[in-house]
Amino acid sequence: MRATPWLVSLLVLGGCAASAPHPADAPAPHCPTEDAPFRTTAPQVPEDAAPARVAFDTFTLANGLTVVVVPRRSFPVVSAQLVIDVSGASADDIGGRRAFMAGRVYVTPPEGATGIVVACGVPTCTVTATAPSDELSKVLGGIARLVLPANLPRDVFEGRFAAAARLFEMSGSDPSLAVGRNVRALMFGYRHEYGESTATRRPTGDEVRAFRDRALVPRASTLVLAGDVSVDDARTAVTGALAAWPDVAPVTIRPEPPPPPAGPHVVVFPARNLAQLQGLVAARGPRATDPDAPAFRVLAELLGGSQASEAFRRAREEQGAAYAVGANIGWLPDTSFLFVRGAFDDSRVTEGMKALLDSIASMRDVGPSDADLDRARHTLLGRWRTMTGTATGLATTFAVAPSLGLPLDHVQDVPAQVTAVTREQVRAAAQRYLAPDALRIVFVGEAAYLLDAGRLGFGWPAQTNGFGEPQP
């Protein structure tokens, strides 16, 4: 006979119930587990021990390629990540258009290839591959075929070139890309390399080829191998795959980024049929090497890094105006930008954006509470542990440092720096970087719902396209 769910429940409950009436002076029956310590007392959470420092080794090939090896014998895989800093060669690449097209034309895995992910633009071109550790030579060979100079057959080049040009231009109608592009246009101007713009003419094939030749060079590159790999095995495999990469002096032109444009502080990209209106508040921040960078990281976490953040509490829990709230930092070689974002109900977008702005003002005027600061620091440390707990995460952690001007040892210092951030440092960072005149606002969605956006106090919104270019 099979017991039905209600019968099982009855039998379980019956184990803790009296089987017959008790005298009045008898003690009340109880289940032995009722007084278990885990039911009556909160667990004691030990203080977090400092994360262990990550061991690594480096060597450099004769052609100038820097190789970082992060051995983790407990990982049965190896993750290879090649990061090429193209920012020096892209100073005159308005909107990063040539960098995008060079990546699509030359650094494209062959059809049917699996395990290789490529992302090319400004300021970096990144190639990532993960495979079992006994396939290291095969993985590096696949990367080499993408980055070493090669003359593509004419029909292949023309097909990829035309597709890349169309993709760049047509992507301006994609609302999901329009948010980030409009933010960068407000931060740097849509005619800057950090933006993406169609305002310039389409580059020629020769210009894209020339960009590849001067940007994708070993002396501007760092290769990180993380996982079950030794330094000796790495040296042998890397030499066999990438020693033939020609040694070309990298272009190092890198002018200071301009101040935020003096144009409108609020822009709207009209987009129909979005489930929610997208809204962001953005501002420029410090370099990753600046002393107040750790406080800026904690500030972003406090504002929108989790469901315990200030913006989430105000916009989602207290007002119910947002479906989702978050914050992030875009790190660049010579600057950064922070954005706090929300997905809002159509009729409550202005109210929700006001909540994000109030969260920022609270950090400037009062600063975080001790409990919120402690929570933010622990969240960042937990995220760092998670990131360094996988081969791919380890590779990414070390690979991005050189392109931001950070020494590799800085990776080891992040946990201690975050732990040492104080309330006063967070408030000072908010006052320095998130002053009202430094903030810029982006809306993407149905324009009819944004007519009262002027009530936010940042002026009347200007209309843009998906690239952040002003529209009449």
pLDDT tens for 286-318 read 999 999 999 999 999 999 866 666 666 655 555
- In 322-392, which ranges are E strands? 322-332, 335-344
Q: What is the domain range of residue 213?
A: 57-242
- In order, the DSSP letters of 52-120 are PPPP-EEEE-TTS-EEEEEE-TT-SEEEEEEEEE-TGGGTT-GGGHHHHHHHHHHS-PPTT--SEEEEE
User: What is the structure's pLDDT at 26?
Assistant: 64
SS3 134: helix
The answer to whether residues 339 and 454 belong to one domain is: yes
Q: What is the pLDDT of residues 398-435, one digit of tens each?
A: 998 988 989 988 888 889 999 999 999 999 999 999 99
Q: Count the Cβ atoms, other than its own, within 10 Å of residue 237.
A: 21
The answer to whether residues 311 and 420 belong to one domain is: yes
> Which residue, 242, 277, 306, sits at the end of a domain?
242
Tell me if 95 is assigned to some domain.
yes
Kindly tell me if the per-residue pLDDT of 323 is higher than 80.
Answer: no
> Which residue, 210, 242, 274, sits at the end of a domain?
242
The answer to whether residues 349 and 214 belong to one domain is: no
The answer to whether residues 223 and 313 belong to one domain is: no
Q: What is the pLDDT of residues 21-68, one digit of tens each?
A: 555 566 666 555 555 565 566 555 455 566 778 889 999 999 999 999
> Which residue, 242, 276, 295, sits at the end of a domain?
242
Tell me if 340 is assigned to some domain.
yes
User: What is the structure's pLDDT at 162?
Assistant: 96
What six digits make up the tokens of 431?
A: 């006052």
The residue among 157, 143, 101, 156 whose CA lies nearest residue 245 is 143
- Within 8 A by CB and 6+ apart from 324, the residues are 276, 316, 342, 343
Cis geometry, peptide bond prior to residue 109 (ω within 30 degrees of 0)? no
Tell me if 30 is assigned to some domain.
no
Helix (H) or strand (E) holding 432: helix 423-433
- Work out how many domains the chain is built from and give that number: 2
Query: In this structure, what CATH number is given to the domain that contains residue 172?
Result: 3.30.830.10
User: What is the structure's pLDDT at 453?
Assistant: 75
Q: What are the beta bridge partners of residue 118?
A: 127
Q: Count the Cβ atoms, other than its own, within 10 Å of residue 250.
A: 19
What six digits make up the tokens of 442?
A: 């982006």
Contact between residue 285 and residue 418 where contact means Cβ atoms under 8 Å apart: no
Which stretches within 217-284 are classed as H helix?
231-242
Helix (H) or strand (E) holding 127: strand 124-132
What six digits make up the tokens of 412?
A: 């080891």
Tell me if 15 is assigned to some domain.
no
Q: Which one is predicted more confidently, 351 or 154?
A: 154
The residue among 304, 446, 408, 316 whose CA lies nearest residue 363 is 304
Q: Which one is predicted more confidently, 470 or 7?
A: 470
Contact between residue 426 and residue 293 where contact means Cβ atoms under 8 Å apart: no
pTM of the complete model: 0.84
